[in-house]
C-alpha cells in the first residue's frame, strides 16, 4: 500500500506536474490520520475524488435531481467499476475482488465509521486497510497463477469461459499427486488430457509453504 501510494500518488503525479508546470501539488492529504472511511476516500487520491465530485456527483444532484445519498452511491459504484476495469485490463481476466470489496465492506464501513473520532478508529482503519490489501493481493495472484498454469489446457474457443470463469477454485486439479496429502514432492511436468502437451509447473502452494517453514525453522538449520 505504501509503495503504491509513493509510486502512483506521489512520485508519478509530481513528475507529471513538473513536466507540465502544474502549480497545484496537493494530490493527497493526510489519509494516514483518518478515522472514517469517507475521509479516507476523500484524502487518499485528491485528483480522482475532485474529478468524481465535480463531474459526476455534482451533476447527478444538480441536473438529474438525485438526492445526495443516491448520487454518492452511484458515484461510488461507477468508481468501483472503473477501478475493476483497470485491474481486469491489466491482468487480462475479470475477477471482481476489488469491486466486491468496494461495494460490500467499503460501503458498510462508511456507515460504520461515520462521525467517529479518536485513535481507536484510526487503528481500526489501518487494520482494515492492511487486511483488504492483503486479501486482494492473495486472491488476484492466486487467480493469475492458476490461469498461467492451466493456460495450455484452456478452451480458447469460449471467450466468456476464458475471461470470466475463475480458475483458482480448481487449482488443486493440477497436482492430483500432492493436493491435500501433505507430501512434499510434486511433478516437474504435467501431461494434459490430449497426451501431447506438457508444461513446467511451479511448486504447489502447500509445498511452498512447507519449504518456507523449513527454511525458517530447525529443519533448514536457519534462525527462527
Q: In the prediction, which pLDDT does 123 show?
A: 95
End-of-domain residue from the set 130, 153, 168: 168
Cα(96)–Cα(140) distance, integer angstroms: 9
Q: In the prediction, which pLDDT does 224 show?
A: 39
Do 28 and 61 fall into the same domain?
yes
Q: In the prediction, which pLDDT does 207 show?
A: 47
* Residue 94: half-sphere exposure toward Cβ, Cα within 13 Å: 11
pLDDT in tens, 173-197: 544 444 444 444 444 444 444 454 4
Do 118 and 30 fall into the same domain?
yes
Do 15 and 52 fall into the same domain?
yes
Assign 199 to helix, strand or coil: strand
pLDDT in tens, 100-132: 888 888 888 888 998 899 999 999 999 999 999
Q: In the prediction, which pLDDT does 21 show?
A: 87
Do 189 and 157 fall into the same domain?
no
pLDDT in tens, 54-71: 999 999 999 998 998 899
Number of domains, the chain:
2
Cα(42)–Cα(127) distance, integer angstroms: 19
For the segment 6-26, the average pLDDT, to the nearest whole number, is 85
Do 32 and 49 fall into the same domain?
yes
Q: In the prediction, which pLDDT does 34 show?
A: 93
Residue reference for cell 472514517:
36
User: How many other C-beta atoms can be found within 10 angstroms of the C-beta atom of residue 202?
Assistant: 12
Higher pLDDT, 209 or 82: 82
Assign 217 to helix, strand or coil: coil
Do 157 and 181 fall into the same domain?
no
Residue reference for cell 489519509:
31
pLDDT in tens, 158-177: 556 666 777 776 655 544 44
Cα(111)–Cα(76) distance, integer angstroms: 13
Q: In the prediction, which pLDDT does 170 show?
A: 61
Cα(26)–Cα(29) distance, integer angstroms: 7
49 is catalytic: no
Cα(144)–Cα(95) distance, integer angstroms: 9
Do 32 and 51 fall into the same domain?
yes
Q: Where does the chain have alpha helices with state H?
A: 2-4, 13-20, 37-44, 46-52, 58-59, 68-91, 97-101, 107-112, 119-150, 159-164, 205-216
pLDDT band for 143, please (50, 70, 90 cuts).
confident
**Residue closest to 39 by CA, chosen among 125, 99, 134, 124:** 125
Q: For residue 179, give every residue at least 6 positions away whose Cβ sits within 8 Å of its Cβ, in sequence order, or none.
A: 172, 173, 204, 206
Q: In the prediction, which pLDDT does 162 show?
A: 62
**Residue closest to 88 by CA, chosen among 80, 96, 79:** 96
For the segment 212-216, the average pLDDT, to the nearest whole number, is 49
pLDDT in tens, 18-77: 899 888 888 888 999 999 998 998 898 888 889 999 999 999 999 998 998 899 889 988
Cα(168)–Cα(188) distance, integer angstroms: 20
Do 122 and 14 fall into the same domain?
yes
Q: In the prediction, which pLDDT does 59 show?
A: 92
Identify the active-site residue in 5, 49, 83, 184. 83
End-of-domain residue from the set 168, 188, 207: 168
Amino acid at each position: 500500500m505504501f509503495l503504491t501510494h509513493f509510486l502512483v500518488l506521489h512520485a508519478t503525479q509530481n513528475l507529471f506536474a513538473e513536466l507540465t508546470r502544474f502549480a497545484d501539488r496537493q494530490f493527497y492529504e493526510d489519509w494516514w490520520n483518518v478515522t472514517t472511511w469517507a475521509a479516507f476516500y476523500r484524502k487518499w487520491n485528491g485528483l480522482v475524488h475532485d474529478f468524481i465530485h465535480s463531474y459526476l456527483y455534482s451533476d447527478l444532484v444538480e441536473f438529474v435531481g438525485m438526492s445526495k445519498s443516491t448520487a454518492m452511491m452511484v458515484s461510488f459504484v461507477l468508481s468501483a467499476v472503473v477501478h475493476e476495469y483497470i485491474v481486469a485490463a491489466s491482468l487480462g481476466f475479470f475477477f471482481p475482488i476489488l469491486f466486491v470489496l468496494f461495494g460490500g465492506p467499503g460501503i458498510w464501513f462508511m456507515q460504520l465509521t461515520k462521525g467517529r473520532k479518536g485513535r481507536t478508529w484510526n487503528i481500526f482503519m489501518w487494520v482494515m486497510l492492511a487486511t483488504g490489501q492483503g486479501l486482494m493481493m492473495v486472491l488476484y495472484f492466486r487467480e493469475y497463477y492458476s490461469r498461467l498454469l492451466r493456460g495450455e489446457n484452456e478452451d480458447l474457443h469460449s471467450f466468456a469461459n476464458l475471461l470470466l470463469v475463475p480458475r483458482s477454485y480448481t487449482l488443486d486439479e493440477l497436482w492430483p499427486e500432492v493436493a491435500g496429502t501433505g507430501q512434499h514432492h510434486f511433478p516437474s511436468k504435467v501431461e494434459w488430457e490430449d497426451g501431447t502437451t506438457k508444461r513446467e509447473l511451479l511448486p504447489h502452494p502447500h509445498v511452498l509453504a512447507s519449504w518456507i517453514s523449513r527454511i525458517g525453522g530447525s529443519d533448514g538449520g536457519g534462525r527462527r
